[in-house]
């Protein structure tokens, strides 16, 4: 495995609770990286020798602004290119947004602002537009991440094309619970491959606040606070892995066949079937299909 990017989920917490969120971000989620965690992770990323880019995302990373800022400074100081993904809640006016973004200038090469009808009441939110204008003044490259509504791919055109600049909703995480009713269902048998992740040779992985390294959200390859990142990457055998092995052999449908899982006839997409299959396998693979946060279980403490 040759990783070129590591995406740090700085926190599972978010000020919003979007229906399509595949990490189940919400104000009630638990788990945030400390500065000590970030330093340890950055050292491991440097030691690996192949990682060029570090992303800070969440949840909403600007909720922990001083920690985010220190993390960005340290990552940039170690020579990584740095990206940040945010919903832009903090971007109320250009003058104010400039204050939030000024310390990031020269350190961040990609500021991605999520804006669509899940996050806000307009596709291009006032927050995203304000953040873009402030970033432009500070020469911070900025863009918008936008996810289409569930019915868009079926209704926009006969070919099912999405509007320019939008990506399709992935029915995993909260989307698998909240959005499938609006989607067309298809036979489970047709989901014979993972359409989104390179499970054999991932170029990037997500690291959550608890140290879990995810090849797709909720499929952990190991914990970097217990095993160094380099060892986890070296030992990963995609075909022998109990979850990625079947997924590579025949997609989410193969997960169902391999483990003899109960299933319905129709699912909204490959991720929907994968999400449901993985849920029913959590008891069998508790060290892989975790943590609770990725499956919408909110800590009571």
CB-CB contact of 274 with 247 (8 Å):
yes
CB of 278 to ligand SF4, least distance (A): 7
Rank residues 61 and 173 by Cβ distance to ligand SF4 and give the closer one.
173
Closest of 153, 145, 139 to residue 114, by C-alpha: 145
Least separation in angstroms between residue 175's CB and ligand SF4 is: 10
Q: Which residues contact 193 (CB under 8 A, 6 or more apart)?
A: 247, 250, 251, 270
Residue 21 binds ligand SF4 (CB under 6 A): no
Q: What are φ and ψ of residue 113, in 5° steps?
A: -110, 120
Which structure tokens are listed for 129? 């537009």
Residue of 107, 183, 271, 288 interacting with ligand SF4 (CB under 6 A): 271
Closest CB to ligand SF4 among 130 and 276? 276
The CA dihedral of 254, 258, 263, 264, to the nearest 10 degrees, is 30
- Residue indicated by tokens 């638990």: 30
On the CB side of 272, CA atoms within 13 Å amount to: 28
Does residue 6 belong to the site contacting ligand SF4 (CB under 6 A)? no
Q: How far is the CB of 172 from ligand SF4 (least distance, A)?
A: 4
**Interface positions, 184-243, toward ligand SF4 (CB under 6 A):** 194, 196-197, 216
Among 84, 175, 233, 270, binds ligand SF4 (CB under 6 A): 270
Number of residues engaging ligand SF4 in binding (CB under 6 A): 11
Can you give the binding site for ligand SF4, defined by CB under 6 A? 172, 194, 196-197, 216, 247, 252, 270-271, 274-275
């Amino acid at each position: 495995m040759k990783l070129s990017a590591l995406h740090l989920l700085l926190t599972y917490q978010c000020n919003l609770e979007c229906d399509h969120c595949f990490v189940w971000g919400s104000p009630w989620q638990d788990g945030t990286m400390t500065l000590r965690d970030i330093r340890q992770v950055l050292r491991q990323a440097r030691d690996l020798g192949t990682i060029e880019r570090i992303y800070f995302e969440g949840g909403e990373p600007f909720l922990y602004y001083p920690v985010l800022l220190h993390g960005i400074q340290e990552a940039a100081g170690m020579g990584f290119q740095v990206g940040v993904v945010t919903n832009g809640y903090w971007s109320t006016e250009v003058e104010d947004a400039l204050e939030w973004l000024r310390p990031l200038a020269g350190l961040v090469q990609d500021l991605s602002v999520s804006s669509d009808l899940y996050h806000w009441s307009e596709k291009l939110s006032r927050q995203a537009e304000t953040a873009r204008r402030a970033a432009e003044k500070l020469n911070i490259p900025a863009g918008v991440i936008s996810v289409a509504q569930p019915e868009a791919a079926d209704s926009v055109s006969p070919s099912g094309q999405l509007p320019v600049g939008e990506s399709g909703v992935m029915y995993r995480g909260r989307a698998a619970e909240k959005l499938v009713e609006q989607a067309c269902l298809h036979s489970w048998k047709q989901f014979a491959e993972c359409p989104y992740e390179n499970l054999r040779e991932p170029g990037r992985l997500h690291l959550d606040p608890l140290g879990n390294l995810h090849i797709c959200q909720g499929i952990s390859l190991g914990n970097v606070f217990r095993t160094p990142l380099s060892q986890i990457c070296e030992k990963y055998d995609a075909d022998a892995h109990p979850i990625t092995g079947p997924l590579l052999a025949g997609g989410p449908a193969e997960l169902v066949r391999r483990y003899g899982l109960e299933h319905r006839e129709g699912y909204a997409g490959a991720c929907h079937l994968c999400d449901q299959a993985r849920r029913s396998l959590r008891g069998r693979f508790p060290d892989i299909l975790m943590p609770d946060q990725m499956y919408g279980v909110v800590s009571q403490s």
